[in-house]
Amino acid sequence: MNFLALEGPPATFEAARVLILPIPLESTVSWGGGTADGPRAIIAASQHVELFDHEHDGEPAREYGVHTLPELGLSDDPAVAIAEIAAAVAAAAADGRLVVALGGEHTISAGVNHGLLEALGGPLSVVQLDAHSDLRASYEGTPYSHACVARRILEDPRVEQVLQLGVRSVDAEEVAFARASDGRVRTWYAEAIHEGGWREEFVARVRGRRVHLTIDVDGLDPAIVPATGTPEPDGLSWREALEIVATTAAEGSIVGIDCVELAPQPGLHHADFAVAKLLYKTITHALNGG
């Protein structure tokens, strides 16, 4: 199945400006499971998303084209899996097309980031929508846990900053690391987003930057996406999430996207649909500059 059920010339590998890469990695889940089923659920739900977008007064997907690549098979070793993801992303992004990786757990974002850096070089900024900072050195015995992905990304000096928005749950170790990062980590807690106190500094930080956008679906409020392993109350609203995405696209240049941590559950298919629609809007913003 192709993302958005797009068919014909715009869906061919040769013509599409967007490549969807399903990555069903689930190796370090620490609470609710099911993220391995996330990519298929997103693609299935996208079949029911209307292509007409009133903001753009047309069907943007038919203009830029979307092609879904085969699901990526991965090693059981998360360190090896990250390298495999990086190689696949680098190959897909080599000719300048927008790669959209569908997880799977948040660990995939380290591989996506490495692949983008290999294909495009640095510097690169990361914009992270998330309920959690994911800045731990190690978690449950592994440095490759989903709870460590932002820390792993920051190990590459070509990553100039990680901008986190919507965070509601952190560990003291993560707070200390962010404070000692000399500005490479900036966290806006959900309260700051709700109050509107994020925009001015965020715009200044992202303006003119190339951006890897990583969307952990638990960044949104559980009323919108309840089907995730570690839900947190008081998350981003639909409009807040889209405002962050549109602002990123307008002020910076989104060069890669991943969306992670959907854990589809029976009876909660509205979560799958919300994520699929969010991705369509995000891709359109990325390719249209906001």
| Per-residue pLDDT tens over the stretch 160-203 | 999 999 999 999 999 999 999 999 999 999 999 999 999 999 99
Give the pLDDT of residue 32: 52
CA–CA separation, 239 vs 109, rounded Å? 24
CATH numbers and ranges of domains, the chain = 3-288 (3.40.800.10)
| Per-residue pLDDT tens over the stretch 229-282 | 899 999 999 999 999 999 999 999 999 999 999 999 999 999 999 999 999 999
Cβ-proximal residues to 179 (8 Å cutoff; 6+ apart), any chain:
none
Helices assigned H by DSSP within 108-187: 108-120, 149-154, 172-179
Is the whole model's pTM more than 0.95, yes or no?
yes
Average pLDDT, rounded, for the chain: 95
| Per-residue pLDDT tens over the stretch 79-120 | 999 999 999 999 999 999 999 999 989 999 999 999 999 999
Give the pLDDT of residue 174: 97
Dihedral sign computed on CA atoms, order 184, 197, 113, 130: positive
| Confidence bin at 139 (pLDDT 50/70/90) | confident
204: how many CB neighbours lie within 10 A of its CB?
9
**What is the pLDDT averaged over residues 278-288?**
98
Give the pLDDT of residue 30: 52
Give the pLDDT of residue 133: 97
